[in-house]
């Protein structure tokens, strides 16, 4: 079978060569039935090989996107099941504010060292008349949209009866009320804050851009795709820790936060499939808009949700510790950006 196929291939190539060498006119030359069958076979075989290659690229991209998404549950390895309750207690607020400093530093580092530079690079690759203005407007749109969303959350969740004093049973069986008398480190009552949902939305769009990068890399080659996925995975670990801290602070428990982190990983898979099915120009323009939009969203979360709690710290010692945590988060993002570049 293989020998027959090789002979047919050789016959086809010889036929093409003879036709070219004798310079037959198109009108006078009529290909034989065998030539037509061989030509159709090659076109069909070539089309199948392209589809198989695209299928494997999609599989590799989805696997890479899932691996990046699984980084969202890594904080479960070192955060105990009681951490969520502890962070909502009076004593836990001190530890929480320290980690909020880390989250602030890592988010700001991610925005100014990763997201915006990548958007700027995408603009230079797909230059347009108003690309630079679109980038700036996208940052503003992301910031303002999250402002509007939080205002809607606050308006819908506000209930006057929530301001009334409540008495709550503590895990040790003792009670405490909110009339100014505190007994044995009471747990602060609060529902799910808007910042938690805002962070999930921003994380979803951020994962979408990661999927675009992963899918585009596997289009180039398998090696580049693996390297890109590895760099994004390493880069995402400190960012996912900060996201987890924000969700715990917003009122989600440990397992609920992990499930929601996995849910946002769908954005990465969607981005990868989009990058593989869309043309390069469309993908580049999408990154030009989505990356600055995500940057504006993260800037809003950092400045509005995290920074006020950090600035409210009056203790000089705790302020220094918060500054160390903040610098640590930022320096980690600097290191990751340098490594991945």
Which residue do the tokens 């955060």 mark?
79
Residue 114 lies in a domain: yes
Evaluate whether residue 208 is within a structural domain: yes
Tokens matching residue 89: 């207690």
The answer to whether residue 43 sits within a structural domain is no
Per-residue pLDDT of 91-149, as tens digits, reads 777 777 888 888 898 889 888 988 888 888 777 766 556 677 888 898 999 899 888 88
**Contact call for residues 210 and 232 (beta carbons, < 8 A):** yes
Would the pLDDT of 279 be above 70?
A: no
C-beta of residue 65 within 8 angstroms of C-beta of residue 208? no
pLDDT of 168 reads 45
pLDDT at 229 exceeding the cut of 60: yes
Residue 21 banded pLDDT, cuts 50, 70, 90? very low
pLDDT at 284: 64
Position 66 in a domain: no
| Residue 280 · residue 215 · CB < 8 Å | no
Which H/E stretch holds residue 317? helix 316-340
Does 118 map to a domain? yes
Residue 200, token pair as written in the block: 């999930």
Q: Which residues of 144-171 are buried (b: 16+ CB within 10 A; e: fewer)?
A: ebbeebbeebeeeeeeeeeeeeeeeeee
Q: In the 8-state DSSP scheme, what is residue 126? A: T
Task: Give yes or no for residue 8 having a pLDDT over 80.
Answer: no
pLDDT the model gives residue 286: 65
pLDDT of residue 150: 82
What is the rounded CA–CA span in Å between residue 184 and residue 181?
Answer: 10
Q: Is residue 128 part of a domain?
A: yes
Query: Which pLDDT score, from 0 to 100, does residue 299 have?
Result: 92
192: three-class secondary structure by DSSP: coil
What are residue 187's phi and psi, to 5 degrees?
A: -90, 130
Residue written as tokens 């990983």? 265
Is-contact 83 254, C-beta < 8 A?
A: yes
Tell me the Ramachandran region of residue 240: left when phi exceeds 0, alpha when psi lies from -120 to 50, beta otherwise.
Answer: alpha
CB proximity list for 124: less than 8 A, separation 6 or greater: none
Containing structural domain, residue 148: 84-154+190-340
Q: Is 326 a member of any domain? A: yes
The per-residue pLDDT for range 176-206, each reduced to its tens digit, is: 444 444 444 444 444 567 788 888 888 888 8
* Whether pLDDT at 324 is above 90: yes
Hey, what's the torsion of the CAs at 234, 236, 238, 239, to 10 degrees?
Answer: 170
The DSSP code for 114 is: I
User: 256 pLDDT band (50/70/90 cuts)?
Assistant: confident
Residue 11 within a domain: no
Report, as an integer, the average pLDDT of 6-32. 43
The residue assigned the tokens 């220094």 is: 320
User: First CA to last CA across the chain, in angstroms?
Assistant: 50
Q: Which of 308, 338, 267 is nearest to 104 (CA)?
A: 308
Q: Which of 177-191, 217-231, 285-299 has the lowest mean pLDDT?
A: 177-191
Q: How many domains does the chain have?
A: 1
């Amino acid at each position: 079978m293989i020998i027959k196929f090789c002979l047919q291939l050789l016959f086809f190539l010889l036929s093409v060569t003879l036709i070219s060498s004798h310079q037959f006119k198109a009108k006078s030359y009529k290909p034989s039935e065998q030539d037509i069958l061989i030509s159709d076979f090659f076109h069909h075989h070539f089309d199948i090989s392209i589809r198989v290659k695209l299928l494997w690229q999609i599989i590799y991209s989805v696997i890479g996107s899932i691996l990046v998404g699984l980084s969202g549950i890594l904080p479960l390895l070192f955060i105990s099941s009681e951490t969520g309750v502890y962070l909502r207690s009076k004593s836990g607020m001190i530890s929480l504010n320290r980690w909020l400093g880390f989250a602030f530093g890592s988010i700001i580092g991610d925005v100014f060292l990763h997201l915006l530079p990548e958007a700027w690079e995408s603009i230079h690759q797909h230059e347009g008349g108003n690309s630079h203005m679109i980038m700036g407007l996208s940052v503003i749109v992301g910031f303002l949209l999250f402002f509007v969303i939080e205002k809607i959350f606050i308006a819908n969740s506000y209930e006057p009866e929530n301001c009334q004093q409540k008495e709550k049973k503590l895990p040790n069986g003792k009670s405490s009320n909110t009339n100014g008398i505190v007994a044995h480190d009471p747990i602060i009552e609060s529902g799910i804050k808007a910042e938690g949902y805002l962070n999930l939305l921003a994380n979803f769009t951020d994962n979408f851009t990661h999927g675009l990068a992963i899918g585009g890399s596997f289009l180039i080659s398998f090696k580049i795709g693996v390297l890109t996925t590895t760099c994004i995975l390493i880069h995402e670990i400190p960012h996912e820790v900060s996201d987890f801290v924000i969700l715990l602070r917003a009122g989600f428990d440990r397992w609920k936060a992990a499930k929601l982190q996995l849910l946002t990983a769908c954005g990465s898979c969607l981005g990868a499939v989009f990058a593989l099915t869309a043309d390069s120009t469309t993908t580049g323009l999408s990154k030009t808009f989505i990356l600055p939009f995500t940057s504006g969203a993260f800037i809003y979360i950092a400045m509005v949700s995290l920074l006020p709690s950090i600035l409210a710290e009056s203790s000089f010692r705790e302020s220094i510790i918060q500054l160390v945590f903040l610098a640590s988060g930022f320096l980690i993002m600097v290191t990751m950006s340098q490594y991945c570049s």
